[in-house]
Chains A and B, each alone.
Chain A
Amino acid sequence: MSIFINKDTRVLVQGITGREGGFHTQQMMAYGPNTIVAGVTPGKGGQEAFGLPVYDTVKDALKAHPSINASIIFVPPAFAADSILEALDAEMPLIVCITEGVPLHDMIKVNQVLQRSPKSKLIGPNCPGLTTPDQCKMGIMPGHIFKPGTVGVVSRSGTLTYEIAADLTNRGYGQSSIVGIGGDPIIGTRFIDVLKAFEADPATELVVMAGEIGGEDEEIAAEYIKTMTKPVVGFIGGRTAPKGKRMGHAGAIVSGNKGTAEAKVAALEAAGVPVANTTAEIGDLVVERLKKLAAVK
């Protein structure tokens, strides 16, 4: 099992003929050949890219391929919000936006439309996407570091996700699904949404949640974790980052006393979540908890 995507996911690539879109379409096809079915580039409808048909609009693509149930967006920042809105208008069940640098006011509008679109889920923007090992990869994650298993991973950072998943794989522990939710101030799917999905997923035994400074999503998630039946292992990046400075991610900025690493660690610990000090410690904590679970069984 898995969350959000599996071997039956059928993916549309918005921006398939662009440099990033093209490169990653091939990477995703190499990972799950049957999951990528078509692309969209306005004005290039009727052409082919990597053996896949290209359409002018999302609706055209859906008409020709009714099996499409997910879309991934690789368009430049100026057009990203419009592409998300187009996918929302087509009632696409899952929309993943990889684009980094989408203007805030665009995302404020997108968020309003998203709230009124019960049929759709958005992951990102500014995210690495998600992977269900050996089934489907939607995004830019390096597929070779994952292996199927029972640990769910959710993170705001891409490379940190790779670090965590690769360490688990090296130790012999596979993952159920890996979700990078993105580092921007406004994102579609938040920690709490992914935690709920992992809680409901029979294949997931334990969840690793890697947060970072900025915002209060980790604190909100901590409240939900108190009600979860599955163990969660936490990590917070940016503990030594100075206040007021923007650390790469648009969202990773601490203003005032909100969103500090200390506040997040405290909230997680209050919810019974052990918070690792280093990425290696995440693996230690996961192994320890999984052994406990096995002993109970």
Chain B
Amino acid sequence: MKIHEFQAKQVLAKYGVPTPRGQVAYSPDEVKNIATEFGKLVVVKAQVHVGGRGKAGGVKLAKTPNEAYDMGKQILGMDLKGLIVKKVLVEEGVNIDKEYYLGMIFDRDARKVVVMVSAEGGMDIEEVAEKTPEKLAKIWVDPALGLTDYQIRQLIFDAKLDRAYIKEYTKFLKLLYKAFIQSDATLAEINPLVVTKEGTVIAADCKMDIDENALFRQPELAAWQESEEDNAIEDEARTRGLTYVHLDGDIGIMGNGAGLVMTTLDAVGREGGAAANFLDIGGGAKASVVKNALEVVMMEKPKGVLINIFGGITRCDEVAKGVLEATSGMEIKVPIVVRLSGTAEEEGRKLLAGSNLIPAATMQEAAKKVVDLAYGR
């Protein structure tokens, strides 16, 4: 789960990681008021879940409250890579002496947290990693030991950061690691990490991702789960407790099990179709879940629907009941192809006989049928 910069900074502040003073504003007037209160140069930053905000014009400096008002007016409501900016973070400017990059991320292959530091701060770190990998120093953290002083020193020396601030970096990194672990983060990126002219080390920006599986023990972070920027149908699916991803095609797809559904998308793609969504009804789904799921798929206004079930714990007769319940309550003008295999498949197929639903024996046959019918081939 992505969280906004201002939220990430709240998390950092909670653990004592230094961040600039800042407040969120929803209107140009609020921006002006905050700037007046701070009484100095401020930065106005769009709060949307996209990368490269600065380059896209979503981050602006303002020397006076009136300038801040203008910047707020420019940024609020702007379209940033497809997302409308509804709030900005107004932050006091810091006296930058040096800018570095600091990243903390879960490394899947090492199965550990990796900490990365580069003296090339403030710019595209992907470019640094690709073109000059020697400038990106890395260490991997033993979860039992946590981040140790000698590892931090190693990072500082390898990345050729200013040695005069080793004490400050060490303190900063230890606090950040604590924040990372205790908030179940999978990514924390500080870019830039700033050494101020006053000699303090501060997180001028912060991007943070949280492990969704851990939200049960992070109630404060769970409350930040946003719907406004998501797809409305994805949002509806979430409230119905379904695993759902909106895609750009026009054939609705539901099945049981992530691997099977992904493979069903591939099968439809192979037949020349494009999936409108990914919907996994999960294991052991009852008729009511299936009904719910089909209703959500129909919201995508697909040209056709493919239901692919391989019943293990999931019973095909329950699936058939759910499909019938859902379809009896709505007017459906598009072909719905149903493939039922596995547990109680005979009972399931019997239930569907006589309905308008189109049976298929295998995944491949189902994919071909739905694509042919949907595109009128």
Is the CB–CB distance between B144 and A158 below 8 Å? no
A278–B270 contact, CB under 8 A? Answer: yes
The answer to whether B257 and A160 have CB atoms under 8 Å apart is yes
Given contacts A156-B259, A239-B266, A248-B243, A142 and B313 within 8 Å (CB-CB):
yes
B111 — which chain A residues lie within 8 A by C-beta?
108, 111, 186
Cα A196 to Cα B174 in complex, Å, equals 41
Instruction: Please report the C-alpha to C-alpha distance between residue A280 and residue B368 in the assembled complex, in whole angstroms.
Output: 13
Main secondary structure of the interface of B (DSSP, over half): mixed
A233 at the interface (CB under 8 A from B): no
The answer to whether the Cβ of B269 comes within 8 Å of any Cβ in the partner chain is yes
Q: Roughly how many angstroms separate A166 CA and B309 CA in the complex, as a whole number? A: 13
Q: Is A59 an interface residue, CB under 8 A from the partner? A: no
Shortest C-beta distance, A45 to chain B (Å), equals 26
The yes or no answer to B181 lying at the interface (CB within 8 A) is: yes
Contact A237 B109 (CB under 8 A): no
In the complex, which of the residues A128, A212, A250 contacts B213, with contact meaning CB atoms closer than 8 Å?
A: A250
Q: B83-120 CB contact bits vs A (8 Å, 1 = yes)?
A: 00000000000000000000000101101110000000
With a CB–CB cut-off of 8 A, which chain B residues contact A101? 213
Cβ A215 vs Cβ B310 within 8 A: no
- Whether the Cβ atoms of B267 and A278 lie closer than 8 Å is yes
A266–chain B nearest beta-carbon distance, Å: 17
Interface pair A279/B363, CB less than 8 Å apart: yes
* A108 and B113 within 8 A (CB): yes
A247: chain B residues within 8 A (beta carbon)? 245, 258, 261-262, 278
Pair B263/A237 contact, Cβ less than 8 Å: yes
Known: A237-B262, A240-B265, A279-B363. A159 touches B257 (CB 8 A): yes
Rounded to whole Å, the gap between the CB of A26 and the closest CB of chain B is: 12
The reply to whether B269 and A239 form a contact with Cβ atoms under 8 Å apart is: yes
In the complex, what residue of chain B is closest to A245 when comparing beta carbons?
B245
A63 within 8 A of B: no
Q: Which of B266-283 contact A (CB under 8 A)?
A: 266-270, 274-275, 278, 280, 283
A56 close to B (CB within 8 Å)? no
Contacts A78-B217, A142-B342, A166-B310: A237 and B247 contacting too (C-beta < 8 A)?
A: no
Interface string of A66-85 (1 = CB under 8 A from B): 00000000000110000000
- A183, B260: Cα distance in complex, Å: 12
Tell me the A49-66 residues at the B interface (CB within 8 Å). Answer: none
The listed residue (A159, A185, A246, A256) touching B310 by CB distance below 8 A is A159
Residues of chain B contacted by A109 (CB below 8 angstroms) = 143-144
Q: Is the CB of B108 within 8 A of A215?
A: yes
Asked if B184 contacts A155 (CB within 8 A), the reply is no
Interface residues of A in 114-159 (CB under 8 A from B): 128, 140-142, 144-145, 155-159
CB <8 Å contact, B275 and A183: no
Contact A108 B364 (CB under 8 A): no
Q: Are A105 and B214 in contact (CB under 8 A)?
A: yes
Closest Cβ of chain B: how far from A220's Cβ, in Å? 9
The DSSP consensus for interface residues of chain A is loop
Look across to chain B and name the residue whose beta carbon is closest to the beta carbon of A158: B257
Contact A241 B265 (CB under 8 A): yes
Bound form: Cα–Cα A138–B363 in Å? 27
Q: Is the CB of A249 within 8 A of B258?
A: yes
Q: Is the CB of B312 within 8 A of A104?
A: no
Interface presence of B150 (CB below 8 A): no
Complex Cα spacing A109 to B213, Å:
15
B143, A112: Cβ atoms under 8 Å?
Answer: yes
User: Could you say which of B217, B262, B311, B362 contacts A241, with CB atoms under 8 Å apart?
Assistant: B262
C-alpha gap A240/B266 in the complex (Å): 5
CB neighbours of B113 from chain A (8 A): 108
Question: B203-236: which residues lie under 8 A (CB-CB) from chain A?
Answer: 211, 213-214, 216-217
- A183's contact among B211, B255, B258, by CB below 8 Å, is which? B258
Residues of B within 8 A of A238 (CB): 262-263, 265-266
Q: Is B200 an interface residue (CB 8 A)?
A: no
Q: Tell me how far the C-beta of B135 lies from the nearest C-beta in chain A, rounded to whole angstroms.
A: 18
CB of A252 within 8 Å of the partner chain: yes
Residue in A77, A102, A106, A163 whose Cβ sees the most chain B Cβ within 10 Å: A163
Report A-chain residues with C-beta under 8 Å of the C-beta of B270. 277-278
User: Are A140 and B267 in contact, with the CB atoms below 8 A?
Assistant: no
Point out the residue from B126, B258, B275, B312 that lies within 8 Å of A248, measured CB to CB. Answer: B258
Q: How far is the CA of A158 from the CA of B111 in the complex (A)?
A: 23
Question: Does A210 have its Cβ within 8 Å of any Cβ on chain B?
Answer: yes
Q: Is A31 an interface residue (CB 8 A)?
A: no
Contact between chains at B311 and A249 (CB < 8 Å): no
* Given A108-B112, A157-B260: A142 touches B106 (CB 8 Å cut-off): no
Complex-state Cα separation, A109 to B184, whole angstroms = 13
Cβ contacts under 8 Å, A240 to chain B: 265-266, 268-269, 274-275
Q: Smallest CB-CB separation from B249: which chain A residue?
A: A240
A158 to B143, Cβ gap below 8 A? no
Residues of B within 8 A of A241 (CB): 262, 265, 278
Tell yes or no: A201 within 8 A of B by CB.
Answer: no
A216 in the interface, Cβ–Cβ < 8 Å? yes
| Complex contact A252–B364 (CB within 8 A) | no
Does any Cβ of B come within 8 Å of A172's Cβ?
Answer: no
* Residue picked from B112, B211, B259, most chain A C-beta under 10 Å: B259
Selected A-B contacts with CB under 8 Å, 12 pairs: A112-B142, A142-B342, A159-B257, A159-B312, A162-B260, A216-B108, A240-B268, A241-B278, A248-B245, A248-B259, A256-B126, A278-B270
Q: A77-B213, A142-B342 are in contact. List 8 more A-B contacts (CB 8 A).
A: A77-B216, A108-B112, A162-B342, A163-B263, A185-B108, A238-B265, A241-B262, A247-B258
